[in-house]
Structure 1
Amino acid sequence: MARLDVKPTRMELSNLKDRLAISTRGHKLLKDKQDELMRQFITLIRQNNELRAEVEKELTEAMRAFVVAKSLLNESFIEELFAVPNTSVTLDIQEKNIMSVIVPQMDFMVDEAVKEPEMQYGFLNSNSELDQAIDRIKTILPKLLKLSEIEKTCQLMADEIEKTRRRVNALEYLKIPELEETIYYIEMKLEENERANITRIMKVKDMGQ
């Protein structure tokens, strides 16, 4: 194991022991952070998988109804129906802190001031499949937004977990062993010097007698 290139003095030994204590505490804090991030990440991944499966199922049903409706209706009518939105939607993105990770918190609001009545179209031009498709897509929108929020949060947390893991490994396998090896080396050197001094003093005494 490599050691630091320092002079084997008692002052240096004291400094290294302080650095080792700080590194050990830092390692524990980072390890605790990593464990908590992993716990929350796993919970979010489960939520993401469940919500994604639910959204995909509902989107499939909505698109199936829309395809059927399109096959039974005049295509120009459908294009005209969806050409101009009848409501104004505002996306509000806030931020929240999860274990020092800044993640998005999304909400969307329908602007009631500009909201118009439900889509107007004649019953002769409509069918139940089109109504079902429109209703289903409306109910899916909040879930789609929540899904994007969770997936972005998972991505940011995964990046933070990887950064924390690298820092934990650097301390655990490089920094702390390096400090311990250097401390051991200096202690051996100081003990060796102390034994040499004692031997020298004893020789001096012997020569004086």
Structure 2
Amino acid sequence: MLLLECLLNLLTFPRVPDNGPGWRSNVNREGLAMISLPATRTALVLIDLQKGITGLPLAPTPGTAIVKRSKELAARFRAAGAPVILVNVAFAPDFADAVHATVDRSFSPPGGFAPDWAELVDGLAEPTDLRVTKRQWGAFYGTDLDLQLRRRDITTIVLGGIATNLGVESTARAAHEHGYNVVLAADVMSTFTEEMQRFACEEIFPRLGRVTTSDAIALDA
């Protein structure tokens, strides 16, 4: 119910104008944004669907459901010939490449990091997928994500993953700043509380791109 309420509330929220060739949208009978995107200019970017993160207590959707929906969406992108980019976060054994800024609340998984915590979940990756490893929340800084997208003439990215208001939001903000069209598949992302999910979907994402669900995304040949 939270996801549906979040998306329905967006209907009354001011949206940024459509922009870019092939960027078309209308509204289906459920009131969710229907978006048609050119497969040759669109990439799916999935954030941190890895063993040490998907098993954490998440809300409003458990990690198993997010992984299932992500696999289904990725299969549609591959079938359409659109790139699938799988992003994980990982660090050196001594964490020398991690962010060491002083913060009020640091985060580490309960019990520490398991040896396989940075590995993507089983069955997610295919040989044709692109892989990006980051060292912080966002997927652009310090990686070749922007290069990989631009070399393929990608102008729109569809985002999903964990956590909605951390890795996904950080990547969405950077994508917006880099000039990409951003589509946020709200049913293919989750975080740690329902309020975090609601705030990101209702207050932040509409200012960065288009918010919809995975089944409302169509890829044109």
Higher strand share: 2
Select the structure of larger CA radius of gyration.
1
Instruction: Select the structure with the greater relative contact order (CA < 8 A; seq sep ≥ 6).
Output: 1
TM-score w.r.t. the length of structure 1 is 0.21
TM-score by length of 2: 0.21
